[in-house]
Amino acid sequence: MNTTSPTRCTAWRLLKAHSRAPRRVPRGAVFVARGPGVALDYSRQRVDAKALVLLARLATERGLPEWRAALLAGRKINTSENRAVWHTALRAGDQAPAEVSRALNKMIVLSSRIRAGKKYKRIVNIGTGGSDLGPRLLADAFGDGQLDVRFAANADEVELDRALEGAKPASTLLVAVSKTFTTYETLWNLKRARAMGFRTFYAVTANLKEARKYRPAEILPMWDWVGGRFSVWSAAGFSAMCAIGPRAFQSFLQGGRDIDRHFRDKPLEQNIPVLMGLLGVWNTNFLGAGAHAVVPYATRLRLLPAYLQQLEMESNGKSVDRAGRAIGYATAPVLFGAEGTPSQHSFHQLLHEGTAKVAVDFIDCALNPALSANAAAQAEALARGGRGSGTLRLQRLDARNLGRLVALYEHKVFTQGVVWNINSFDQPGVELGKKLAQRILKGGK
């Protein structure tokens, strides 16, 4: 497995030289990659055929095919923590490990019983980070209103108070999600809710022993080979399953599985997540874009930018490579975004004429002609000003295509991690912050 610096690759040096040539959006170029339910139009990126050839060569020199095979096989590529990385197993269908199938079947039974019964009227998901952002996105996008599903992630009491407002303890189920079951914010909110009389809860965790101390009504398992920001596919998504129903949740899993197969089987130059990753490298490392905007033209995807902030910046926001060497090149850009068309009246002026270099992903969900026209117009206006963007076009917006969209970005992040020679599956800075906060709370410095 290649763990050398990318700057030592011949393709990196050739890309550096090529990027110094005058650059503009190639008018009339047709660059489109197609996958299941989605197409990537990158004809408005500031990239030409030569750069694309060199980017594919860079991926090969970095050993992306070998790293990809290791990821999909669940090998221990999270070397700093000596853990496997196997979130793709969570959506593998008939090929999933037996323990994953058992957990999914238990989720389906429990959520079906809750949705069909009259005992619980409200579900409150208590978790933070990956235990909140993914399930919250899915529930917000496709919750059918059969249950009132709310979320509490913040240690600020206001969020939990709002999540419990008007609820009755006898008809409220708490779902506490923490892989370690030691996460401060999660335990803080769980203890506070129980002190307020809301005592019935399910635990979702990999630390069964610790969770049992709190006497949950049910425990749904997680595993140490699933990183938090990749866990929405697991029992961490139980509250989302309650919100959207088991059938829609399984459709979400199917969408992720569709993209796993596309990522595994398609040649690099036709592979949508690989192209997304390589174009991101091109924009970040060779064209100097230090920020990345994601603009979905759908209210159902309004929480997608927040979800992607964790996925991309926690995964690839690193300044030390796999060998422990300080990095002398850019890694993850700052990610921000909001739903279009409201974002057009917020930050698009900066995209069009600001001094900052920002790469942009537009997501067109084919919801209505006005939304699609606005997405196309923004991309075209940027191109006329010499600023590039890419557009992801979904055939429709449903749970399966949301699964496809999330998996695309997961594999994009992985591709970039391989190119940059970083471990995309640990978060040492975050862990240090947690330890320091606990020390300060206990009166230390």
Domain-ending residue, one of 198, 217, 250: 250
Query: Is 107 a member of any domain?
Result: yes
Of 209, 345, 442, 445, catalytic: 345
**Confidence at residue 22, expressed as pLDDT on a 0 to 100 scale:** 73
Beta bridge partner(s), residue 78: 83
Residue range 339-364: average pLDDT? 98
**Confidence at residue 432, expressed as pLDDT on a 0 to 100 scale:** 84
Q: Which residues of 237-249 are buried (b: 16+ CB within 10 A; e: fewer)?
A: bbbbbbbbbbebb
Q: What is the CATH number of the domain that holds 221?
A: 3.40.50.10490
**Confidence at residue 21, expressed as pLDDT on a 0 to 100 scale:** 84
Q: What's the domain count of the chain?
A: 2
pLDDT value at 8 more than 70? yes
Q: pLDDT digits over 36-57, tens only?
A: 999 999 999 999 999 999 999 9
Query: Is 275 a member of any domain?
Result: yes
Q: DSSP class of residue 235?
A: G
Residue 328 shares a structural domain with residue 314: yes
Q: DSSP class of residue 170?
A: G
pLDDT value at 434 more than 90? no
From 233-237, 251-255, 432-436, the region with the lowest mean pLDDT: 432-436
pLDDT value at 231 more than 90? yes
Query: Is 257 a member of any domain?
Result: no
Residue 270 shares a structural domain with residue 418: yes
Per the annotation, the verdict on 411 as an active-site residue is: no
- How many CA within 13 A on the CB side of residue 145? 0
Confidence of residue 437 (pLDDT cuts 50, 70, 90): confident
Coil/strand/helix, residue 260: helix
Residue 390 shares a structural domain with residue 353: yes
pLDDT value at 304 more than 70? yes
pLDDT value at 430 more than 90? no
Residue 72 shares a structural domain with residue 94: no
Determine how β-strand 32-35 pairs with β-strand 38-41. Answer: antiparallel
Q: pLDDT digits over 372-397, tens only?
A: 999 999 999 999 999 999 999 999 99
Query: Is 443 a member of any domain?
Result: no
Query: Is 393 a member of any domain?
Result: yes
Domain-ending residue, one of 226, 250, 274: 250
pLDDT value at 294 more than 70? yes
Contact 245, 144 (CB under 8 A): yes
Q: pLDDT digits over 69-127, tens only?
A: 999 999 999 999 999 999 999 999 999 999 999 999 999 999 999 999 999 999 999 99
Per the annotation, the verdict on 345 as an active-site residue is: yes
Query: Is 434 a member of any domain?
Result: no
Of 314, 318, 410, 412, catalytic: 314
Query: Is 445 a member of any domain?
Result: no
Which domain does 59 fall in, by range? Answer: 6-82+266-429
Residue 283 shares a structural domain with residue 396: yes
Other beta carbons within 10 Å of 414:
25
CA distance linking residue 119 with residue 127, whole number of Å: 23
Residue range 238-259: average pLDDT? 98
Residue 331 shares a structural domain with residue 290: yes
Residue 280 shares a structural domain with residue 415: yes
Q: pLDDT digits over 165-214, tens only?
A: 999 999 999 999 999 999 999 999 999 999 999 999 999 999 999 999 99
Length of the chain: 445
Residue 162 shares a structural domain with residue 69: no
Residue 273 shares a structural domain with residue 378: yes
Residue 94 shares a structural domain with residue 225: yes
Residue range 417-442: average pLDDT? 90
Query: Is 435 a member of any domain?
Result: no
Confidence of residue 428 (pLDDT cuts 50, 70, 90): confident
Determine how β-strand 291-296 pairs with β-strand 334-337. Answer: parallel
Residue 274 shares a structural domain with residue 420: yes
Contact 31, 43 (CB under 8 A): yes
Put simply, whether the predicted model's pTM sits higher than 0.85 gets the answer: yes
Nearest Cα to 314, choosing from 133, 74, 64, 55?
133
Residue 275 shares a structural domain with residue 227: no
128 against 442, higher pLDDT: 128
Per the annotation, the verdict on 339 as an active-site residue is: no
